[in-house]
Amino acid sequence: MTLTYNRSGHMRPRDRALTVFIADGFLSEGDTITVVFGDTSAGSPGMQLQTFCESAFEFKVLVDIYATGHFVPLPDTPTIRIIPGPPAHWRAILPTLRRTGEVFSLGLRADDDWGNPSCNETETLRIESNLPIENLPDQISFPIGQRSLRIDNIVAQNEGIYRIRVYNDQNEHLVDANPIVVQNDSLNAYWGDLHGQTGETAAVDTAEEYFTFARDLAFLDVTSHQGNDFQIKNNFWAQLNQLTAEFDQKNRFVTFPGYEWSGNTCIGGDHNVFFRHEGRSIRRSSHALVEDQSDIDSDAPTLRELFTALADEDCVVYAHVGGRYANTAYAHDPRIETAMEIHSAWGTFEWLLTDGFSLGHRCGVVCNSDDHKCRPGASHPGAADFGTYGGLTCFLTSDLSRDSIFDCLRKRHHYGTTGNRLHLDTRVRFKTSANFYELDPNVYESSPKVVSEIMMGDIAQTNDGVVDLFVDAVAHTPIERVEVLNGKEVVETLRGYDSSELGNRFRIVWGGAKYRGRGRKVRWTGKMRLKNARIIRFERINAWNPEKLFEQRSDKEVVWDSITTGNFVGFDIWLDNVSNGQMVLETNYVGTTLSLDEIGLKDTIFEADGLERRLRVYRMPQINNVFEIRDTVPVVLKPKGDNPLWVRVTTDDGYNAWSSPIFVYKEK
């Protein structure tokens, strides 16, 4: 008997396989084979389980009974339950934009070190608000065994930026909630993660557990289930439609039926399909893992055929970068494909949006998780090769309903983040006036409306040579910068401080990817050494895996081993001396020596080939107290073609947010 282990030893999604091969004998009825996982008696270090919870982790057992290479699953294979560890990080979640006098909720939970909502301790929590909020308790008990707590029916009667702090009964500060902007406006903000799947396809747990997590633990307003189409059986498609109908509740929690069309990149690449209503047909890219071939004629094997099949459907489509990245140059239907998913657990992909600018595409920005761990809306990467936290999308619309969210998607009135919840508003104000089109005039016959201002996602034409881009960003952690872009070009960088306020704090970050495909992961190993200076404080940025090497070795040295897939990772150091000091950077891609007193406000950039693979070094204030940036930037318009005006926000703790572009073009 021989044992072999292979990380790709069986059919998706059960790729990790232990194979027992019997050559010198045979098995008869009643014979057994005993496998002990994690046995340390012969020197093995043991077995480490996954870092995410699972209600029924299954040790799937298959047998090649007739030695033909055809493995048949055995019934009643063993399962174990994987539960969270002790609480390590508290989360407090508010909406980010509400009208005065409207009720809203505060969500509370404590995650373990791997991002799993924990239930192992009881806490008495004290809650403080900077401004009066009706029905918000001063103190509340978080019972043992409960994984989240929701405080409903709280109301802010006055306009303002409300900030809530949470303490324990020893008066220790636990967490700050994200800010909520309360104002008399026609719009509210609703948060969603519309992309993930479960154990019925290529992930873990059930679709019912997925929707429950999104609503009750991640405190999402909107979600959808997005299984790979070539694994969705007809009975599961029917079940999904039943679940989205059951979970959908106007003004509480909105769900959409949908799936991920998973064709190869050469014929379109991954795209997410969302239907407004249940009962619609699934148009698969293939039946690769669906045994029932009776409806194979309904397949849409290419993206062009998918768009044709969906032409009369009440649906929207996102372009996605996963294993099979979306190829929007191959096909794009602006009536259906409304958004580009530029961040997920797979990484950060601004290029998916910016590639479309030269093609004339007018799409919005969304961010989701593509979660496979049954944690939509709170998708921690864990110990796997996914190196980034899952994203979120904020929908700016009048109310929480399917119709309102769909209207928002078609107007591109939304923005995305890498997982935090900040308030973001962008508007273009015209010197004279502009013709605003509610529907894209490149596609629809549409009469314009004369306006002086438009919001994110809108389309307008003007005679003005210069327009004013207004941006309002409010975060619960300090804001490092807001970059204003026209297409791919950064035209202005807004900071709440200038060079005169810089201290002895230095930021070193690295990021990017190898290329666009599945093997885009970049492993960065490196060392930073100081000469004639000493570290007095060290903080990591976006270092999600606590077991990866990333530490301060001495008062002069930091070492790391990390992964990027388009996103960035790094650290801050506070030094006791800058004059005459030097920083020596040694990585597997770039190396350099810098004089500390020459590092300033602007990035010092070292390119490392690949796809935006680079290392950056710059200096920051000792303490950044900029939590809000509100400014107006004049932007000179290009005389020909679209001017996609959008912003990229970076916060001190390493999160990004992107507004959907405002598309402005000149009168011909």
The CATH number linked to 573 is 2.60.40
Residue-wise burial string across 189-205, b where 16 or more C-beta atoms lie within 10 A, e elsewhere? bbbbbbbbbbbbbbbbb
292 & 201 share domain? yes
Task: Tell whether the model's pLDDT for residue 162 goes beyond 70.
Answer: yes
pLDDT of residue 9: 77
Query: How confident is the model over 281-291, as a mean pLDDT?
Result: 97
- In this structure, what token pair is assigned to residue 212? 């429950």
Question: In Å, how far are 166, 201, 273, 557 from 289, measured between CA atoms?
Answer: 48, 10, 19, 51
Question: In Å, how far are 421, 442, 518, 650 from 655, measured between CA atoms?
Answer: 10, 35, 23, 6
Q: How many Cβ atoms from other residues are within 10 Å of residue 377's Cβ?
A: 27
- In this structure, what token pair is assigned to residue 658? 């992107």
649 & 601 share domain? no
260 & 393 share domain? yes
Q: Whose CA is closest to 620, among 495, 488, 515, 459?
A: 495
Q: Whose CA is closest to 259, among 242, 277, 240?
A: 240
Among 365, 389, 421, residue at a domain's last position: 421
pLDDT of residue 572: 98
Give the CATH number for residue 473: 2.60.40.10
Q: How many Cβ atoms from other residues are within 10 Å of residue 141's Cβ?
A: 13
Structural contact between residues 217 and 147, judged by C-beta atoms closer than 8 angstroms: yes
- In this structure, what token pair is assigned to residue 616? 């950056």
Give the CATH number for residue 387: 3.20.20.140
The number of folded domains in the chain is 5
249 & 320 share domain? yes
**Is the model more confident about 38 or about 378?**
378
Give the rounded percent of residues in the chain with a pLDDT score beyond 90: 87
End-to-end Cα spacing for the chain:
78
361 & 507 share domain? no
Q: What is the pLDDT of residues 292-316, one digit of tens each?
A: 999 999 999 999 999 999 999 999 9
Task: Tell whether the model's pLDDT for residue 598 goes beyond 70.
Answer: yes
- Taking the C-alpha atoms of residue 296 and residue 38, their distance in angstroms, rounded to an integer, is 44
Question: In Å, how far are 385, 559, 561, 596, 616 from 556, measured between CA atoms?
Answer: 30, 11, 18, 13, 19
pLDDT of residue 67: 86
Structural contact between residues 437 and 445, judged by C-beta atoms closer than 8 angstroms: no
Q: Whose CA is closest to 455, among 254, 186, 668?
A: 186
Query: How confident is the model over 576-600, as a mean pLDDT?
Result: 96
- In this structure, what token pair is assigned to residue 628? 């809000």
At how many degrees (to 10) do helices 234-247 and 207-216 cross? 20
- In this structure, what token pair is assigned to residue 297? 């004629």
CA geometry: angle 287, 290, 292, nearest 5 deg? 100
Return the H-helix or E-strand segment holding 189. Answer: strand 188-193
412 & 435 share domain? no
Residues 6 or more apart from 233 whose CB is under 8 A from it? 290, 291, 292
Structural contact between residues 259 and 224, judged by C-beta atoms closer than 8 angstroms: no
Q: What is the pLDDT of residues 432-450, one digit of tens each?
A: 999 999 999 999 998 999 9
Task: Tell whether the model's pLDDT for residue 667 goes beyond 80.
Answer: no
Q: Whose CA is closest to 663, among 362, 338, 410, 413?
A: 362
- Taking the C-alpha atoms of residue 3 and residue 367, their distance in angstroms, rounded to an integer, is 43
Is the omega angle on the peptide bond into residue 644 within 30 degrees of 0, that is, cis? no
Listed range (61-70, 483-492, 648-657) with the worst mean pLDDT: 61-70
140 & 102 share domain? yes
pLDDT of residue 385: 75
In this structure, what are the phi and psi dihedrals at residue 146, rounded to the nearest 5 degrees? -100, 135
531 & 409 share domain? no
Give the rounded percent of residues in the chain with a pLDDT score beyond 70: 100
Q: What is the pLDDT of residues 17-41, one digit of tens each?
A: 999 998 888 889 899 888 888 888 8
229 & 120 share domain? no
253 & 386 share domain? yes
Domain that holds residue 604: 499-620
Q: What is the pLDDT of residues 609-618, one digit of tens each?
A: 999 999 999 9
The model's confidence at residue 668, banded by pLDDT at 50, 70 and 90, is: low
- Taking the C-alpha atoms of residue 132 and residue 128, their distance in angstroms, rounded to an integer, is 9
Map residue 626 onto helix, strand or coil: coil
Secondary structure of 581-606 in HEC code, one letter for each residue: CEEEEEECCCEEEEEHHHCCCCCEEE
336 & 197 share domain? yes
269 & 195 share domain? yes
Query: How confident is the model over 167-191, as a mean pLDDT?
Result: 96
- Taking the C-alpha atoms of residue 422 and residue 392, their distance in angstroms, rounded to an integer, is 11
Query: How confident is the model over 599-604, as a mean pLDDT?
Result: 98
Among 123, 148, 182, residue at a domain's last position: 182
H helices, E strands: number in the chain: 5, 47
Among 182, 212, 241, residue at a domain's last position: 182
pLDDT of residue 76: 85
Q: What is the pLDDT of residues 338-374, one digit of tens each?
A: 999 999 999 999 999 999 999 999 999 999 999 999 9
Left, alpha or beta for 110 (phi > 0: left; psi -120 to 50: alpha)?
beta
